[in-house]
Amino acid sequence: MDRRSWLWRRKSSEKSPGETESSAGSMSSHSERFSDDQLYSNQSFQSPEVTSKAELQPEELEGSVKTLSQKLSEALLNISLKEDLVKQHSKVAEEAVEGWEKAESEVLALKQQVEVLTLRNSTLEDRVSHLDGALKECLRQLRQTREESDEKVDEILEKKTSEWQMTKAELEKQLADLRSQLQSAKKTEPSSTSNEMAEKQISALKLELASMAEELELRYIERELSNQAAEQASKLHLESAKKANKFEAECRRLNAALRKALAINGQKSSTDSQSTVESDDLKDANEFESNRPTPAKGINLMHDFLEMERLVALPKSDPSDSLQNRLSEIEEVLKRVEMEKQNVEIALSERENELKTSRNELKVAKSKLVKLEALLINANDARETTEKELKSVNGIVNLLQERYPKPAIRNPELTIKQYKKTIASLNRQLKTLATLEDFLIDTNEFSRHYRPSTGKMM
């Protein structure tokens, strides 16, 4: 009996570290329990022999039964604890498996997102490469067009400069020939005729300058008048806009009064509304009288307002008849106001048309003034050049008169005609030169404006 209790204690002591180690793994706890059950079964097979020998000791049997029952209860407790641990481990394993499955699903979703993003990146890269190619092509075309335009402008400038130089050389030759002819003619004719011709030309130029100055003064006066007309038209436009706004406010107020009159059912409420409407009408009438455009229209509107006040202030004998009468009269007043509003709008449109015409006239006058200023500058330049040429011709004539004696004039009329022809040809040549210079200036300005714009585009 002592030996069996010792064996059982040793088994229980061997079981206790097994129980502590059962937290490390459920499979080891199951194996230990299986081995303990086998040992216990062997002992149970051996116990009948011992009990058969000790049948004469009932106290010892009772003690052994108690110890065995205690050990059995302890074993059952250990088994229940181990089963709980096994359940916990199984739950942990299931949770781990679920977490692993979730992680795998998340990994798959992330892989799909990565694939979608890679596809988007590839499409974006393709689009960017396509756009880069298109941009390079556009830049190339822009450079090509700029180079072509620069080449064309340079070619045109070279052609025009060469033509201008050729014409200038020809005109210089003609001027030299004419000067030589003048010198040869002035040797034969007296200096008084040349001086008289020069004085006549100078006087004619002075008269032209005076007429041009008068025309410029007239243009300045026209410009000032057009500016004043434009200012007056703008003022009238603002006044008409204000009038239209006031008419709209009056129409709204009349509609509100009409609604109030329709909404009134009792005499007390009608008297209250009459007092409020009368006060509003008096205020609006005073404001309208202070800003009325013409006396006739102001009087008509005042009559309309007085009629509205009278209609609102009438006592109610029959509600249906009085309402119908008031509605008809209010509608007539509204029609009058709408007609006046239409008239004001028509006047406003007419004023706007007049303003547009005055602006157009102002633009035309400005353009004419610019042209006249350019003509005046050209006339001044031509006068200066003619004066210089006359001075040089007079100096040459004086030198020739000092050096050579005066010969007899055979045909003075022929010489005068030749001089007139030469002067007319010189004037024509000067006009052609002026037109050529204007064309060259325009081409230079065009090239200056065009080149910076192309540089900005690049």
Which CATH number do you get for residue 211?
1.10.287
pLDDT score, position 256:
76
pLDDT score, position 112:
92
SS (H, E, C) 328-363: HHHHHHHHHHHHHHHHHHHHHHHHHHHHHHHHHHHH
Does residue 255 sit in the same domain as residue 115? Answer: no
pLDDT (mean) for 125-154 = 84
Does residue 192 sit within a domain? Answer: no
Does residue 70 sit within a domain? Answer: yes
pLDDT (mean) for 156-160 = 82
Does residue 73 sit in the same domain as residue 217? Answer: no
Does residue 218 sit in the same domain as residue 113? Answer: no
Does residue 384 sit within a domain? Answer: no
Does residue 244 sit within a domain? Answer: yes
What is the rounded distance in angstroms from the CA atom of residue 321 to the CA atom of residue 123? 80
Does residue 268 sit within a domain? Answer: yes
- Decide if 366 contacts 223 (C-beta within 8 A): yes
Q: Which DSSP category does 25 fall into?
A: -
Question: Based on the structure, what is the number of domains in the chain?
Answer: 2
Higher-confidence residue of 455 and 306: namely: 306
Does residue 352 sit in the same domain as residue 237? Answer: yes
Does residue 64 sit within a domain? Answer: yes
pLDDT score, position 81:
93
- Decide if 132 contacts 412 (C-beta within 8 A): no
pLDDT score, position 321:
62
Given CA atoms 197, 200, 204, 209 in this order, what sign does their dihedral have? positive
pLDDT score, position 335:
80
Q: Is the pLDDT of residue 245 over 50?
A: yes
pLDDT score, position 77:
92
* Domain end among 331, 361, 377: 377
Residue 226 domain boundaries: 207-377
Q: Is the pLDDT of residue 9 over 60?
A: no
Does residue 73 sit within a domain? Answer: yes
pLDDT (mean) for 42-52 = 45
- Banded model confidence at residue 100, pLDDT cuts 50, 70, 90: very high
* Domain end among 352, 377, 402: 377
* Domain end among 353, 377, 401: 377
pLDDT score, position 277:
46
- Alpha-carbon separation of residue 250 from 288, 331, 341, 389 (angstroms): 9, 14, 10, 78
Does residue 227 sit in the same domain as residue 344? Answer: yes
- pTM, two decimal places: 0.23
Task: Mark residue 85 as left, alpha or beta (left: phi above 0; alpha: psi -120 to 50; beta: remaining).
Answer: alpha
- Banded model confidence at residue 437, pLDDT cuts 50, 70, 90: low
Does residue 357 sit in the same domain as residue 212? Answer: yes
Q: Which of 98-112, 133-147, 216-230, 250-264 is the most confident on average?
A: 98-112
- Alpha-carbon separation of residue 65 from 45, 61, 68, 428 (angstroms): 15, 6, 5, 154
Does residue 431 sit within a domain? Answer: no
Identify the CA nearest to 197 among candidates 430, 381, 426, 433.
426
Identify the CA nearest to 351 among candidates 250, 222, 243.
243
pLDDT (mean) for 289-305 = 45
